[in-house]
Amino acid sequence: MVKILWIDDEIEMLKPHFIFLKQKGYEVIQINNAQDGLETMQNEQVDIVFLDQNMPGISGLQILPKIKKEFPNIPVVMITKSEEENVMDDAISSKVDGYLIKPVNPNQILLILKQKLHITELFESRLNKDFQESYRLLMQKITFANSFNEWQEIYKEIIYWDLEVEQSKNQNIYQEFVEQLKSQANTYFCKFVEKNYLAWLQSENETNKPLMINEILRKKIMPAFDNGEKIFLLVIDNLRFDQWLTLKPFFANNFNIVEEQSICTILPSVTQYARNSFFAGLMPFEIEKRYPQYWTQETDERNKNDFEEQLINEFFKRNRRNPKISYHKILNENFAENKLSNIKSFFKNDINVFVFNFIDILSHSKTQLQMIKDLAKDDAGYRSLVNVWFERSYLKYLVESLVNKDITIIVTTDHGSVAVRKPIKVVGDKLSSNNIRYKQGKNLNFNEKEVFLIDNPQKAGLPLVNLSTRYIFARNYDFILFPLNYHE
């Protein structure tokens, strides 16, 4: 039975409340002064305290800090006749868990009890009922989805449940079903992409295709510039939608979010291809053809993304615009401190571009450092690490400095990530690419049933190293290994 400690110098006046609570199955300990109330807590286990604010001798406000210090996990609800704001401020600053103004309605008390003591039971009951129903519906949607918009909504629903079950005391049970949804969705979405990807690249019909990564400058950034907006473009490398949702409350609390739209990266969905494509507003084949000096081949030892600043300037030059652009790649916090030391100077520019690489570095660290692998062993852990980084990052510092400024912030990414599980063997020569989610080369030997094959790279907007170059892509949770490193 839940035990309530009620401390009020007019305790006799509250008998109707106590009768009501007894009928609802609660036990109430009635105390008429603050000191005796504290001593009762020291000698007897209670679940919640209702505390009168204004009592003779030691007041509720005076005893509250002592209660919270000794019993930080027991909720305390302050009850007062006063509606003065300073009384509320004092109570809240002392970490009161609830606040009621006399005369108190019995249903208000019941609501507080449900919020503070029964929220977990109520949450579990609703979660069980709603999740079972949504699980069946989502499985049906996954089977029959045939448009990118439908897949968008399916993914958002799966992530919603992923975040919901993370709060459940039965998380492990629900997580199995969420993983089933993800696995099923991955299988069907791969088939959907293979069927439609090449058509998206060649289609001019906006309703039948997603917004592609190489179209963002033309469709989002350039119109904002033409509209006279001062733009801060924040590109967070390797940011996934579920990770964005952990950052979104900060942005929503400080800015008016005008639009939120899912985008589709290109294949290969790695930084070399996707981010170059983003900043050029072109597919990789076109970048290599127009700007060979800015394209680095797979076999080249140089960094594959050294020319993003040049590519974005070339984009606006092609489109007969001449904005004043500043570009900054933030590789670590020391680098960020130097870059962001004079934020005021950025407001002189039309477009300020900031690329943050931390999440991409983190994803690679998962395969190299056991500590990171343990901390980010599942999506929930991975999200948590991203959130911890953001709370102490120069990205947050930068964004905080933009609050209440007459600017437009655009937050985006170049690609996401997936934790791979199942290796598949491919044979290739020494010039084949070494990425584990795709391979490019001319002498690739593989099982066509295990991969998505693009044997005409130009149709996919991809560079031709030689006439027989082919690209293959892993599906689902698969990753590609050569036989020599298969057991690593």
For residues 342 and 242, membership in a common domain is answered with yes
For residues 455 and 474, membership in a common domain is answered with yes
**Residue 417 domain-assigned?**
no
For residues 404 and 256, membership in a common domain is answered with yes
For residues 287 and 311, the answer to whether their CB atoms sit within 8 Å is yes
**Residue 198 domain-assigned?**
yes
Using the 3D structure, point to which of 202, 219, 239 is the last residue of a domain: 202
What residue ranges in 160-295 does DSSP mark as E strands? 231-236
Task: Give residue-wise pLDDT tens across range 7-20.
Answer: 999 898 899 999 99
**Residue 220 domain-assigned?**
yes
Q: Which of 293, 290, 292, 297 is nearest to 272 (CA)?
A: 297
Using the 3D structure, point to which of 202, 228, 248 is the last residue of a domain: 202
The DSSP H or E segment spanning 300 is none
**Residue 125 domain-assigned?**
yes
Task: Give residue-wise pLDDT tens across range 59-91.
Answer: 888 898 899 889 988 999 988 876 666 666 666
CA 48 to chain centre: 35
Using the 3D structure, point to which of 80, 99, 117 is the last residue of a domain: 117
Instruction: Identify the pLDDT of residue 83.
Output: 64
Q: Give the domain range for residue 46.
A: 3-117
pLDDT over threshold 60, residue 485: no
Average pLDDT over residues 424-452: 86
Its pTM stands at 0.79
For 27-36, 40-49, 106-115, 426-435, which range has the lowest pLDDT when averaged over its residues?
426-435
Structure tokens at 58: 């030691």
For residues 236 and 339, membership in a common domain is answered with yes
**Residue 452 domain-assigned?**
yes
For residues 240 and 169, membership in a common domain is answered with no
**Residue 264 domain-assigned?**
yes
For residues 341 and 381, membership in a common domain is answered with yes
Beta-strand relationship, 438-441 and 470-474: antiparallel
For residues 260 and 311, membership in a common domain is answered with yes
The CA distances from residue 475 to 45, 165, 191, 418, in Å, are 56, 26, 9, 11
If one compares 226 and 54, the residue with the highest pLDDT of the two is 226
Instruction: Identify the pLDDT of residue 119.
Output: 67
The 3-state secondary structure of 446-475 reads CCHHHEEEECCHHHHCCCCCCCCCEEEEEC
For residues 408 and 469, membership in a common domain is answered with no
CA distance 116 to 48: 8
If one compares 66 and 331, the residue with the highest pLDDT of the two is 66
Domain count within the chain: 4
For residues 223 and 269, membership in a common domain is answered with yes
For residues 108 and 173, membership in a common domain is answered with no
Task: Give residue-wise pLDDT tens across range 98-156.
Answer: 888 888 888 888 888 887 877 667 667 777 788 888 999 999 999 999 999 999 999 99
For residues 390 and 241, membership in a common domain is answered with yes
Task: Give residue-wise pLDDT tens across range 188-203.
Answer: 999 999 999 999 998 7
**Residue 181 domain-assigned?**
yes
**Residue 347 domain-assigned?**
yes
**Across 200-209, 344-353, 463-472, which has the greatest mean pLDDT?**
344-353
For residues 312 and 327, the answer to whether their CB atoms sit within 8 Å is yes
Instruction: Identify the pLDDT of residue 191.
Output: 96
For residues 13 and 149, membership in a common domain is answered with no
- Helix 106-117 and helix 15-23: axis angle, to 10°? 50
